[in-house]
Amino acid sequence: MDKETLITQLKEIVKPYAKNEEALLNINENTDFVNDLKINSANLVDVVLDVEEQFNIVIDNESMERMLNVKSAIEIIEAKLGAQ
């Protein structure tokens, strides 16, 4: 899966939680979930659960902790998919 496709899928996942619509529209590798998209930090766990469901992967606690932006999310998803 290429980065573009991954970002498009991530965009759909974070859409219900994102409070900043403009940042969502311009989502890219450097987008931060809390600072840019204004996602409530409590909702980060929901984002992780939705990612798990979408990609059929399990994200461990350590990965979960650093999944705070698009870049780290892509790294984690790619690593998990690669390990399958």
Partner 1 sequence: MNKRVVVTGLGVAAPNGVGIPAFAEAIKTGTSGIRHDNELAALQFSCQIAGKPEVSESLQLQYLEALELRNFNSNGILYGLIAGIDAWKDAQLPVGADLDPDWDSGTIFGAGSAGVDKMREAIYKVDALQVRRLGSTVVPQTMASGISAWLGGKLALANQVTTNSSACATGAESVLMAYERIRNGYAKRMLAGSTSDAGPYIWGGFDGLKVCTFKHNDHPAAGSRPMSASAGGFVPGSGAGALVLESLDSALERGAVIYAEVLGGHINAGAQRGDGSMTAPNSTAVQRCIREAIKAAGVAPQEIDAINGHLTATGKDALEIENWSIALGRKGKDFPYINALKCMIGHCLSASGSIELVAAVLQLHEGFLFPNINCEDLHPDIAAIIDPEKIPQELLHKELNLIAKASFGFGDVNACVILKKYK
CA distance 2 to 49: 22
- DSSP β-bridge partners for residue 32: 69
Contacts of 56 (CB under 8 A, 6+ apart): none
Give the binding-site size for partner 1 (rule: CB under 8 A): 7
Binding mask 1-40 for partner 1 (x = CB under 8 A): ---------------xx-----------------------
CA distance 23 to 56: 27
Question: Per rule CB under 8 A, is residue 49 in the interface with partner 1?
Answer: yes
Question: Per rule CB under 8 A, is residue 62 in the interface with partner 1?
Answer: no
Looking at beta carbons only, is 1 or 16 nearer to partner 1? Answer: 16
